[in-house]
Amino acid sequence: MAANILFRHLALTILDPDRSRIVSIDFVDNPYHGSPDEDAGELCTTSPTDGTTTCHRYCTAYVVSNGKPVTLALTYVRSDEKEADAVERVLDRVGTYPFDVDLLLADRGFYNERVIRRARDLATTVIPVKKKGERMKDKLDTHCSYMSTYRMYKDSERELRFPLAVSVSYQNDDRGKHGEVVRGYVACDLGDRTPTQVERRYRKRSAIETSYRLFRQARATTTTQDPLVRFAFVIVSFLLENLWLVLRWAVVARPRRGGRDLPEQFTFQTFCDWIRHELEVELQRRWETEMNGVGVPDAYASAAG
C-alpha cells in the first residue's frame, strides 16, 4: 500500500535508525451506522460505541517518540479474514524498518497463536493473556507472582509454548477499587525476568489514547458507504498526525543542550486549523444559505427610522 511508504518516509525523518525501538500494535475501530457498501465482510463487530456495534476496523503499528505516537504502518481489517492476517501484514511492514525492534507490545485482543508466533520472530513480545480455559484460569488462581511456561493448544499440532508471567498487585485507590489484581502476560524472550519486570515493560505501551484523540481531531466525516473512501480519510488523518510530529520536531522546535525544545503552542489542533484555512482559501470556499425573499417587514423598517 502506497500510504505505508509515506508513513515510513515521515517516521524515518524523526526516528534515529541506529536506535532500537519499542513498537506497539493495536486495532482502531471507527464506529459505523448503516449497511455495508457491497458485502458484509467490510464491517466488524465491536462493543457498543456511539449508538452502534458495527465498525470499520484497522490495524496499526506505532512507536512513541518525545511522548507522541508515530505511526509506522496501517492496514484495513475485514471481518471475513482472520485478524492474524492483518497483524502479519503490519508486522511485515515493521520488519522493513532499519531500526531494531527492542520490544513488541499489544493488548489482549492479540492473544492469538499465529500472532504470538509471528511477533516473537520479530522481537521480544509482551501480550496480556485472556482469562479463559480451565488451565489458564488455574494458572491465574494465585496470591503470589511467579514465572511459568504455558502450552497453548496442549498436545495438538498447533501447540505453542511460551513463558507466562503471572503478576499479583494490589489496588487501593480513590475510585473505590481495592484488593488483589492478578494479570497474566505472554513474555516471549523474557523467561529470565520477574513478573513485575514484565508488567513494567508492558506499561511502556503508552500514548495510544493520545494517538486516537489526535486521529479523531483530523478525521474527515462523510456519509459515503464506500469503505475505500472511508479508509482513505483514516489514512490522511494518521499521515497528518505524523506530518505534524515531523514539523514540530524538525522545523519548529529549537535546538538546545540535551535535545530540542518542543513548542507547546504548536498543537495538533493549531496545525489542522492552518491546513483547513489554506484549503478554504485555495478552493475558494463560500458559505451559502437560501434567503426568505421577504426581508425586514415594512413596520419594523419604519420603526427603526
Q: What is the pLDDT of residues 13-24, one digit of tens each?
A: 999 999 999 999
Nearest to 163 by CA among 174, 152, 171, 154: 152
Query: pLDDT of 196-210, one tens digit each?
Result: 999 999 988 866 666
How buried is 99 (Cβ within 10 angstroms: 0-12 exposed, 13-18 middle, 19+ buried)? middle
pLDDT for the residue 18: 93
Beta bridge partner(s), residue 63: 23, 70
CA distance 72 to 5: 9
CA distance 55 to 115: 22
Host H or E run for residue 116: helix 113-122
DSSP of 16-28: -TTS-EEEEEEEE
Establish how many alpha carbons lie within 13 A of residue 98's alpha carbon, considering only the half-sphere containing its beta carbon: 10
pLDDT for the residue 210: 63
pLDDT for the residue 198: 96
CA distance 142 to 140: 6
pLDDT in tens, the chain (305 residues): 789 999 999 999 999 999 999 999 999 999 999 899 999 999 999 989 888 999 999 999 999 887 788 999 999 999 999 999 999 999 999 999 999 999 999 999 999 999 999 999 999 999 999 999 999 999 999 999 999 999 999 999 999 999 999 999 988 775 667 788 999 999 999 989 999 999 999 988 866 666 667 777 777 788 899 999 999 999 999 999 999 999 998 888 888 887 788 788 899 999 999 998 999 899 888 888 899 888 888 777 666 55
CA distance 70 to 64: 6
CA distance 260 to 65: 12
Contact 242, 7 (CB under 8 A): yes
How buried is 31 (Cβ within 10 angstroms: 0-12 exposed, 13-18 middle, 19+ buried)? middle
In whole angstroms, what separates CA 192 from the centre of its chain? 29
Residues in the chain: 305
Nearest to 234 by CA among 52, 25, 55: 55
3-state DSSP: the chain helix, strand, coil percent, rounded to 5?
Answer: 35, 30, 35
**Amino acid, res. 242:** N
pLDDT for the residue 286: 83
Contact 145, 198 (CB under 8 A): no
**Dihedral class, residue 66 (left if φ above 0, else alpha if ψ from -120 to 50, else beta):** left
Contact 52, 32 (CB under 8 A): yes
Nearest to 88 by CA among 115, 112, 124, 126: 115
Running DSSP on this structure, what letter comes out for residue 258?
T
pLDDT for the residue 304: 56
CA distance 54 to 36: 10
